[in-house]
Structure 1
Amino acid sequence: MFSKHLFYLTSDQLCAYLWQGGRLTGGTVFANNRAGIDDFMDYVDSHRASSAYILADLIEEDFQRVTMPHVSGVAASKLLQRRLQQQYRETPFRHHEIQGRETNGRRDDIVLLSALTNPSSVQPWVEALEQLHMPLAGVYSTTLLSEDLAHKLKLRDEHLLLVTQQSAGWRQSYFQQGMVKFSRLTPAIDRDGNPVNIGTETAKTQQFLTSQRLLGRGIALQTVVVTAAEDSGALDEQCKDGPETEFRFVTLESVAARAGLKLGEGKVAEVAEHMAEPMLLAFLAQRDPKTHYTLGAWQRYYKLWKARVWMYATSAVLTVFCAGWTGYNLWQQISADIDSDHLRAEAAQFDKRYRDVMAEMPPRVTSTANMRAAVNVERMLATQSATPLGMATVISQALETSPNIRLLQMDWKLTLPAANAPQPGQDETQAAPISSLAAGIPNRAPQALLLEAEIIGEQDDYRGAVDSMNQFAQALAKHPRISVEIDKPPVDTRSSVKLAGKSGPQAAASGRAKFTLNLVWKP
């Protein structure tokens, strides 16, 4: 955890605390003058911490409630900033808080504007931190911080007045439905040196709230007084319940316990027994909210510090991720090495078994490479060598569409190139070399098939016989790689041939009309 500087600022002094390990320590007081600021700078320089927080508890803190048109986006931000600057021109410490919308009319936004109207009470301390390059997280208001504390303590009264005793005096903050509407700081000692009467001051606050129409007449104001246990008896005499006021006392110890705050020991514990600021400072350190009052350029070192923290955090995350990834890769490498060793051992066993088996086998006729080549050649011949099966399949499909055609015989052969024919002077007793195309190397050889068929039908219908042959030939010619040539038609109608024939019983005795086709398949 980072250590933090926590400064409680009043009009006369600044009290410095340190937040370390979830506990509040310190309590050094510096006067609001030149010497006090110099001592303060020496203190900050000697007590290094990650960041600084200023909790202001000043009389010069103003609260105004205004209504503004309901807009959103960049226009709303510009409108609010312009309204803040108009309301508080003399101070850079300004704050706004949207607290809902009106129920009637055009439903304008209800906005609470607040500011530290005397910047000279804050600016010297801020500039001192600026000179020391100390990251200033923000300037906070005890009133606005008490709003979060009231939520933490589950004080849900519709009209609540929270009264706390602090070094600057008694702070009275009015909350309506959990949202702060007004706050005033009264000295703990009056002009005559006597302690102020809390009951009287509460009545004045209630009268002011009624005049401002924040509190209706006849409505009971729930007043919660946070005080030390030993002082509750004296305050009980001053705070008597009335028709419009109800008092409840809560000890500082119980508030700290309910909020889960650890205030530390020694001087801090002594202050916490009587004052509320250690409790508020501890609550501020735990929550670490955004600054209440704008700081502008005074917050640049804090933004740089946060950027550096984010960079360190990102680097740490990346380092852890890379270390994890590297470890995972190393584990994978070790696993891969182990698997490789197992595979090598298995391969050695298989090699040994192979050698043992091969040692028991008789001597080989040829080498393993030749046997592998022979198997490859056999597979190539089975797939590439020319066979009549392809052409027979095409003829069978054509016969399916020509039922009046009967196949008589087929003569299939390969068309091999003339280069493989016997050459002059070659020994006739020596067998002619066979072309590699017969085995389909490198491509299949062209094939030729002589087909003889007859036509089943009427014997005297020569025109029908010719048409049937033509239809059959066309069915065969549909194949893209087969060409069909009519070698002998059923009726020879050439002009050079004598037309002759028989009819009637003599034609039936002579047999059916026959024809012959030459088929050529080109790969």
Structure 2
Amino acid sequence: MPQRHLLYLDANAMRCHRWQHGKVTEEARFATTDEGITGFARYVQQHTGGLFTLLVDQVEESFQLDSLPYVRGPDREAMLTRKRTQAFFGSSLSGALSLGRESGGRRDERFLFVALTRQAALDPWLQALRVANAPLTGVFSPALLIDRLVKRLAADTPRCLLVSFAPGGMRQTFIDNGRLRFSRLAQSLHDVGSAKPAHCAAEILKTHSYLTGQRMIPRDTRLPVHLLVDSATFGRLRGGLADSDTLHYLHTPLQQLAHKIGLNSEVRGGDALPALLHWMARNPGTLQLAPPAERRYYRLWQTRQTLLGGALAVFAGAVLFAAKLALGSYQLNQETLKLQATSAAQNAQLNRLMSALPALPVPLNVLQPAMDTLDTLRRQTASPRPWLSHLSAALDAHPALTLRDLRWQVLDDPAAQTPPGSVMGHARLSLPETIAGDRRAMLDSAQDFLAELSRPPGHSVRLTRQPVELAPDRAFRSASQNAAPSEGADFEVSFGLRGGAP
């Protein structure tokens, strides 16, 4: 985390504080002179690696309440910018605080426009930050901090006057419906320890008269006044602060509020500055008044942090992915070692079993060829008897045919489509001489015999040689046409038989 430097500027000095772990510690103080501005510039140059936040506590403030049409997006920003320029001409340190929408009519949105009107008093200090390229997170006003801080008060404060003390003076902040409406600083009461009760009462009465004259509060209304101080300071001031029909003084313990917001620094007397600075550092959502040009280096710092965060995220993802791969590799190595150990154990067990077996009568290199020869002889013992029986049955069904030639073999090829032990053969047969001149009759006889062979268990039956020559350029004649007898009234068939072994 970068070092946080909280700057507090009043009419007399610039106070530089360090904020760390909920503690606010003053590091340096520079008077509002040329020497003080030069010393502040050196201080900023020495701490360029940190973030700077400026709290301005001066009399030159302006608060204007207005109602504007409810719009959103770029039109809203353009409308607010134009309104701030019209209301605070010549002052770039301004902002618009939304107070919610009205309940009736067009339901316009109510805005409190806030500005620091003495730009010349701030420019030398801002220039020192610009020259050092110091990231400025924002410029704040105590009134804007109290607007969000008032919700942490124990008392019910829908409408009240909150009085606080800081080195810049006594600040009176008017809260209406729980939101900031007006704030006024009395510089003469900058030391709460020496503040006179009568002087405080006079300043509070001035503020009450102003609020009544501006019709911010109804007449004849008793306004609660909360003094944000410690018990000792309240007891000292209470003697000169008499309740009346219009004012009612109450004590709001400063130590209790500091504990609620998480301030770890010691609160001394009635000085509310440490609590305000701590609240400013903890709540980045508070409205700030610096224009975008003053916060340019802070935006660059945010961009660098975003890129750095993205790079760290990618690096973390790469480390996790590498760790996952390393874990997977380690697990794979462990499984490999286990498999190797299991294989070695099984081989050892196999060797023990083999060593326990009786010795072979002949060496293994002599026995293996003998076993291969035995397998070959077993495959050659297949008999063609079923194949011949099937052929004989077909011949019995066609006694006119004469067997002329016969060839057979046992198929034992693993790559073949037929299973081992199948018998395949070829037979040449001759047709009777009575139909030697009738080609159609010869073809019909051959087809009938082929159909007889196709009956189970016969398979792969086909006619390998026709009994007649079928040429496309020769006429197909019958015997009645007195054609010359055909030479070679023989035909050949091939068929197989599954399971040819006896």
Is TM (by shorter chain) over 0.5? yes
Residue 409 (structure 2) pairs with residue 434 (structure 1): yes
Shift of residue 261 of structure 1?
0.7
Q: Distance in 1 between matches of 2:195 and 2:281?
A: 34
* CA offsets 1:29-68 (integer angstroms, 9 cap, x no match): 2122322110111222334551101001111111111000
* CA offsets 1:427-467 (integer angstroms, 9 cap, x no match): xxxx946386x9796557999xxxxxxxxxxxxxxxxxxxx
Distance change >3 Å, CA 440–CA 260, structure 1 → 2 = closer
Corresponding residue to 2:206 among 204, 210, 214 = 204
Counterpart AA for 1:80: L
Shift of residue 285 of structure 1?
2.2
Secondary structure of the residue aligned to 2:239 is helix
Partner of 2:114: 114
Q: Distance in 2 between matches of 1:368 and 1:85?
A: 112
Contact 2:61/2:116 (<8 A) preserved: yes
Shift of residue 181 of structure 1?
0.9
Distance change >3 Å, CA 143–CA 166, structure 1 → 2 = same
Contact 2:170/2:189 (<8 A) preserved: no
Partner of 2:274: 278
Partner of 2:259: 257
Residue 223 (structure 2) pairs with residue 221 (structure 1): yes
**Superposition pairs of residues 350-429 of structure 1, within 5 angstroms:** 350-357=346-353, 360=357, 366=368
Q: Distance in 2 between matches of 1:283 and 1:369?
A: 98
Contact 1:227/1:252 (<8 A) preserved: yes
Shift of residue 276 of structure 1?
1.5
**Superposition pairs of residues 43-122 of structure 1, within 5 angstroms:** 43-47=43-47, 49-122=49-122
Of 306-315 and 159-168, deviating more is: 306-315
Q: Distance in 2 between matches of 1:219 and 1:166?
A: 29
Unmatched 5+ stretches in structure 1: 378-386, 389-409, 413-420, 423-430, 448-481, 484-494, 498-519
Distance change >3 Å, CA 304–CA 368, structure 1 → 2 = farther
Q: Distance in 2 between matches of 1:279 and 1:229?
A: 16
Distance change >3 Å, CA 52–CA 368, structure 1 → 2 = farther
Partner of 2:40: 40
Distance change >3 Å, CA 4–CA 238, structure 1 → 2 = same
Contact 1:93/1:294 (<8 A) preserved: yes
**Superposition pairs of residues 329-368 of structure 1, within 5 angstroms:** 329-357=325-353, 360=357, 366=368
Q: Distance in 2 between matches of 1:295 and 1:496?
A: 121
Contact 1:263/1:282 (<8 A) preserved: no
Identity %: 24
Shift of residue 291 of structure 1?
5.6
Secondary structure of the residue aligned to 2:263 is coil
TM-score, reference length from structure 2: 0.69
Secondary structure of the residue aligned to 2:234 is helix
TM-score, reference length from structure 1: 0.67
Q: Distance in 2 between matches of 1:152 and 1:433?
A: 110
Counterpart AA for 1:250: T
Partner of 1:512: none
Distance change >3 Å, CA 369–CA 57, structure 1 → 2 = farther
Distance change >3 Å, CA 288–CA 73, structure 1 → 2 = closer
Partner of 1:514: none
Counterpart AA for 2:131: Q
Counterpart AA for 2:228: V
Contact 2:44/2:128 (<8 A) preserved: no
**Superposition pairs of residues 121-520 of structure 1, within 5 angstroms:** 121-189=121-189, 195=196, 197-263=199-265, 272-289=268-285, 292-357=288-353, 360=357, 366=368, 432=407, 434=409, 442-443=416-417
Aligned residues: 404
RMSD over aligned Cα, in angstroms? 4.1
Q: Distance in 2 between matches of 1:108 and 1:173?
A: 25
Shift of residue 339 of structure 1?
1.8
Secondary structure of the residue aligned to 1:298 is coil
Q: Distance in 2 between matches of 1:367 and 1:86?
A: 113
Q: Distance in 2 between matches of 1:194 and 1:50?
A: 36
Q: Distance in 2 between matches of 1:81 and 1:91?
A: 12
Secondary structure of the residue aligned to 2:207 is helix
Distance change >3 Å, CA 370–CA 328, structure 1 → 2 = farther
Unmatched 5+ stretches in structure 2: 380-385, 388-392, 396-403, 426-459, 462-477, 481-494, 497-502
